[in-house]
Amino acid sequence: MMEGMTSVTYRVCVVCMGNICRSPMAEMVLRKVLADHGLAARVAVESAGTGGWHIGGPMDERALRILAEHGYDGSEHNARQFTADWFDRYDLVLAMDRDNQAFLRRLAPAGVEVRLFRSFDPDAPAGAEVPDPYYGGDEGFEEVLTLVETAAEGVAEHIADELDR
């Protein structure tokens, strides 16, 4: 490797239920925030769902539109399903809500921590979730974007601290 070049040394996966709304929105936001913190070359961010209904499909059109309106590009997203063998791939697995967190914890090997995405928002109450906007209108997707943008700063700070160890 050439001097001064960096390579990915930390991997994150954000997980919701179907991987078409919350987790890909958080993936896109977190990528931008990490880039803003100068960490893009060292950190890989991906997303997945606990369910397999949407595997290979695009992001929900409402999520895609809200992201685009705020300067994020989610057009390349393809939904994936998180499986137990993926825990070896990631340094940090973040669930969007407690149900998905519980599911992931049942899959996880002993000693692997699965954190809630909003646990990195210092102003969020303990156990705060990112609500599923799927069955509502645009306002739910706007709320998700606001919540993940706020928590993403804390996630980036956590990762920066981990990389400095």
Of the CATH numbers 3.40.50.2300, 3.50.50.60, 3.40.50.2000, 2.60.40.10, which one belongs to the domain with range 10-164?
A: 3.40.50.2300
Task: Tell me the pLDDT tens digit for each residue of 54-83.
Answer: 999 999 999 999 999 999 999 999 999 999
What pTM value is reported for the model?
A: 0.94
Q: Return the pLDDT at 157.
A: 97
Q: What is the DSSP string of the chain?
A: --TT-----EEEEEEESSSSSHHHHHHHHHHHHHHHTT-TTTEEEEEEESS-TTTT----HHHHHHHHHTT---TT----B--GGGGGG-SEEEESSHHHHHHHHHHSPTT--EEEGGGG-TTSPTT------TTS-HHHHHHHHHHHHHHHHHHHHHHHHHHH-
What pLDDT shows up at residue 141?
98
Task: List the domain boundaries for the chain.
Answer: 10-164
pLDDT at 7: 85
Q: What is the per-residue pLDDT for 107?
A: 96
Please report the pLDDT score of residue 1 as a whole number.
37
Q: Which residues are catalytic?
A: 16, 22, 132
Residues of the chain with pLDDT under 70: 1-6
**What local confidence, expressed as pLDDT, does residue 6 receive?**
59
